[in-house]
Amino acid sequence: MQYEIKQHDKFSYIEEGEGAPLVLLHGLFGALSNFKPLVDHFKQYNKVIVPMLPLLDMDILHTSVSGLAKYVHKFIETRDYKDVNLLGNSLGGHVGLVYLLKNGSSRVKTVILTGSSGLFESAMGDSYPKRGDREYIRKKTEYTFYDPAMATDDLVEEVFSITNNRLKVIKIIALAKSAIRNNLEKELHQIKIPALLIWGKNDNVTPPFVAEEFHKLLPDSELHFIDKCGHAPMMEVPETFNKILFDFLKKHAAIATEA
């Protein structure tokens, strides 16, 4: 099913369903397709919102985690969302945390992190993307998942088309370096709202010890590991991911009705 891309001022986003807002922030190579099983499930219970983050469209000076956090702040303010449940995967989780640290939690009720950067990440593995090498990109895309078959031809082609553009590669490197520089270890204790951590036990990019560290540093957090799962649990094991998330949102009265 294709979702309607909506426009409000400079913001492009999807918004499906009614209820407590569930805002989804994708990662560096993320796309709407990453969240499709999640949107399909939670639009029954929530207003599910996915802003199209301008990862590769900002000017180079603002191509940073902080620049993206400002964008999210303006988006939430412009749309006047309240009692938001803010979910981020990979870089998206990092952006969500910086947004909370800079703006407080007056509009955010809970935060959900899955494979988030902000403490440690191994980026694309051992090096940055090589232009024009499709097989290299396939290997690095497979590295994201426990099951290499998740790196479909379409997904590899999507990543390849991004990394084959010189300006986009420069911006990817800028964002990756910004994420590494922007370590949140000393600030996370300031985030007092309920936090849910859903992590793949086989995550190569942000390994399990990263989840343990987030759990230790976020005062009101719960941690769930999923076995045989890599860096994008909402893609690789959507049913398990959705069940954990549903139970958390229900516990915090952020689910409209039961199915």
Band of residue 48 on the pLDDT scale cut at 50, 70, 90: very high
Domains of the chain by start residue, with CATH: 6-251 (3.40.50.1820)
Placement of tokens 């309920």 in the chain: 194
Of all residues in the chain, what percent carry a pLDDT higher than 90?
68
Residue 258: predicted pLDDT: 52
Residue 156: predicted pLDDT: 87
Band of residue 28 on the pLDDT scale cut at 50, 70, 90: confident
Phi, psi of 42 (to 5 degrees): -85, -10
pLDDT single digits (tens) 119-170: 987 654 445 555 567 888 888 888 899 999 998 998 888 888 888 888 888 8
H helix runs in the chain, sequence order: 36-42, 65-79, 91-103, 134-142, 153-163, 166-181, 208-217, 233-236, 238-251
Residue 1: predicted pLDDT: 52
Of all residues in the chain, what percent carry a pLDDT higher than 70?
93
